[in-house]
Chain A
Amino acid sequence: RKEVEQDPGPFNVPEGATVAFNCTYSNSASQSFFWYRQDCRKEPKLLMSVYSSGNEDGRFTAQLNRASQYISLLIRDSKLSDSATYLCVASDAGGTSYGKLTFGQGTILTVHP
């Protein structure tokens, strides 16, 4: 079983749609969670951190359910520029404050006109 598991998609949605991505993690010791975005042939870039109380950044909302070991990302009012691969990431604490990151396989989103 993968440590961080995502639905790989692809998700094909029209502009303006709302789309949700789900992610589960198997390591109950995971401490921090993130969503990264990766454009084709580019490096991953942080989209947002995921906090226990849930958090929102403009059109993006992230949720964390520690009991179910489940993370989600909601994108509202999709734009063409949202087309990318979205990576769910979990981090353990390790022996330092900032442990190693484990990446999910990514969910491909294509937003069409």
Chain B
Amino acid sequence: SAVISQKPSRDICQRGTSLTIQCQVDSQVTMMFWYRQQPGQSLTLIATANQGSEATYESGFVIDKFPISRPNLTFSTLTVSNMSPEDSSIYLCSGRTVEAFFGQGTRLTVV
């Protein structure tokens, strides 16, 4: 399957600031997604990143808090805006052909 490079791998941020996470895929993929994973828990879908149009957000997630870009079929960014300690989590991007494959994750700590 394709390979996703995700960065940063980890960051510690001050509350009230924003962090942008980037994912680069080594081939074109139709679908890209962003997930959040709390420690010891499973993955929760934040949104589907749509190429050339606004992302589709899941219940409980909004564009103002998690703006997403997808300028082409190989790249996407997720911004975590106006961060609070509750945003501390692992954020994962994913691409999908038949099965899904994941970036290495970004471990975010907000202090």
Residues on A facing B (Cβ under 8 Å): 32, 34, 42-46, 49, 87, 89, 96-98, 100-106
**What is the CA–CA distance of A105 and B105 in the complex, to the nearest angstrom?**
18
Interface core residue of A43, A89, A102 (most chain B CB under 10 Å): A43
Name the B residues within 8 Å of A102 (CB-CB). 45
Asked whether A106 lies within 8 Å of B42 as measured between CB atoms, the reply is yes
Main secondary structure of the interface of B (DSSP, over half): strand
Q: From the candidates A46, A49, A98, A103, name the one contacting B43 in the complex (CB within 8 A).
A: A103
In the complex, the answer to whether A96 meets B99 with C-beta atoms within 8 Å is: no
Question: Given A43-B102, A44-B92, 15 more contacts at CB 8 Å?
Answer: A32-B98, A43-B103, A43-B104, A44-B102, A45-B101, A87-B42, A98-B31, A98-B97, A98-B98, A100-B45, A101-B94, A103-B43, A103-B44, A105-B41, A106-B41
Q: How far is the CA of A32 from the CA of B100 in the complex (A)?
A: 12
Please tell me the number of chain B residues within 8 Å of chain A, measured between CB atoms: 22
> Least Cβ distance of A98 to chain B in Å?
5
A32 to B30, alpha carbons, bound, how many Å? 17
Instruction: Bits for B75-111, please: 1 = Cβ < 8 Å to A, else 0.
Output: 0000000000000000010101111111111000000
Query: Which of B43, B94, B101, B104: most chain A Cβ within 10 A?
Result: B43
Q: Enumerate chain B interface residues (CB-CB to A < 8 A).
A: 1, 30-31, 33, 41-45, 48, 92, 94, 96-105
Q: Decide: A100 and B99 in contact? CB cutoff 8 A.
A: no
Instruction: Pull 9 A–B residue pairs with CB atoms less than 8 Å apart, ordered by A.
Output: A42-B104, A44-B92, A46-B99, A49-B98, A87-B42, A96-B30, A98-B31, A98-B98, A103-B42
